[in-house]
Structure 1
Amino acid sequence: MIRKAKISDVGTIMTIINETVKEMKSYGNNQWDENYPNSETFINDIKNDSLYVYEEDNNIKGFICIDCNQAAEYENLNWSLNEKCMVAHRIAVNTKFRNSGIATKLMSFCEELALKEGIIYIKTDTYSLNTKMNSLFKKLGYKFIGEVKFLSKEKAFYCYEKILK
């Protein structure tokens, strides 16, 4: 089940973040670290009604932030459409439950939520070194649009879009 996150979920979310950061570091990906994303990031997402968790058997197995907030860095890219879109941010799955389709379910939920709100366009990005998310976006039919630099990271972030039917 996917539901809106609650403040009481933040501890579990941060456990998932900490494990994910360790894993990312193991293959040289410094997209996330001890400073970002932090509990304040997720508390703000919850206050903005944009954080969703995937829960099964009373375990939060993953989460996604979905809103319409585009990074300013997106402005210089050649997007296919110039209209309101949903943006998927901060997607993670508990390392114990990886490879069970949870990230795909979270992205499908993002698409369903967009359509429910009359939005046919999704944008997202991930660090160029995040091979798992880059593979997921391609597998789900997201089109690579270009690169942006932000969060004072050394490498570029790859941006993707999907027009929903």
Structure 2
Amino acid sequence: MLTNGTMKDLDSLDLLSVKVITNMMDANIPQWTFSYPRKEHFINDVLDKSLYLFKENGNILGCGVIKKENDIPYKEIKSWCGLKSLVIHRVLVDPDAARKGIAKTILLKAKELAKNGLYDSIKVDTHPDNYKMRGLLEKNGFVERGYLKSINRIAYEYMMEDKL
């Protein structure tokens, strides 16, 4: 079940972050370090209600952040198609709950928010070596838009046309 995150969730979310980061490092996916994303990075997400948690039996199995503003590095990409976009950040899924559709549920939530808010696209970026996220994005209709050199990320966009 997807719910908004609260301050009470942050300690559990921090434990999940460490578990996910460790798993990614073991798989040689340098998406994050042990200093990011951590508890302190989710505080503003709770405050602006952009943090979504996937919970099962009270346990956090995944999360994603869906923001209304674009990141500064996104200005590097000239091939964006959307004029009014939501941006997905920090998608984490418990490795023990992989392949249960948790990340896809977060993408679907972003699509729902984009449709309801009349956004014309959804943007997201990921590390070039994060084959899991890249595959998920491509499988769910996101199109690669370019390389963000300043942060070593591949940028993707999902167009809402014909979906509004």
- Classify the TM-score, shorter chain: over 0.9
Question: Would you say 1:130 and 2:130 are equivalent positions?
Answer: yes
Letter in 2 for 1:162: Y
Structure 1: stretches of 5+ with no match in the other structure: none
CA distance in 1, matches of 2:148, 2:92: 21
Structure 1 residues 7 and 123 mapped into 2: Cα distance closer, same or farther (>3 Å)?
same
- Structure 2 residue aligned with 1:158, among 147, 150, 154? 154
CA distance in 2, matches of 1:82, 1:138: 17
Question: Would you say 1:99 and 2:95 are equivalent positions?
Answer: no
The aligned length equals: 161
Deviation of 1:48 (Å): 1.8
Percent identity between the two aligned chains: 29
TM-score by length of 1: 0.92
**Partner SS state of residue 33, structure 1:** coil
Q: C-alpha offsets along residues 81-136 of structure 1, whole Å, 9 cap, x if unaligned?
A: 25110000000111111111111111101110111111131000001111110110
TM-score by length of 2: 0.92
Deviation of 1:2 (Å): 1.0
Letter in 1 for 2:79: W
Structure 1 residues 40 and 159 mapped into 2: Cα distance closer, same or farther (>3 Å)?
same
Partner of 1:31: 31
Task: Tell me if structure 2 keeps the 8 A contact 1:79–1:161.
Answer: no
Deviation of 1:47 (Å): 1.2
Higher mean C-alpha deviation, range 138-147 or range 36-45: 36-45
Task: Tell me if structure 2 keeps the 8 A contact 1:16–1:95.
Answer: no
Deviation of 1:49 (Å): 1.4
Letter in 2 for 1:8: K
Structural mapping, 1:14-163, within 5 Å? 14-151=14-151, 156-163=152-159
CA distance in 1, matches of 2:34, 2:27: 16
Task: Tell me if structure 2 keeps the 8 A contact 1:74–1:148.
Answer: yes
CA distance in 2, matches of 1:132, 1:36: 19
Letter in 2 for 1:44: N
The alignment yields a C-alpha RMSD, in angstroms, of 1.3
**Partner SS state of residue 99, structure 1:** coil
Structure 2: stretches of 5+ with no match in the other structure: none
CA distance in 2, matches of 1:76, 1:157: 11
Letter in 1 for 2:76: N
Task: Tell me if structure 1 keeps the 8 A contact 2:2–2:55.
Answer: yes
Letter in 2 for 1:158: I
Q: C-alpha offsets along residues 135-159 of structure 1, whole Å, 9 cap, x if unaligned?
A: 10011010000001345xxxx2110
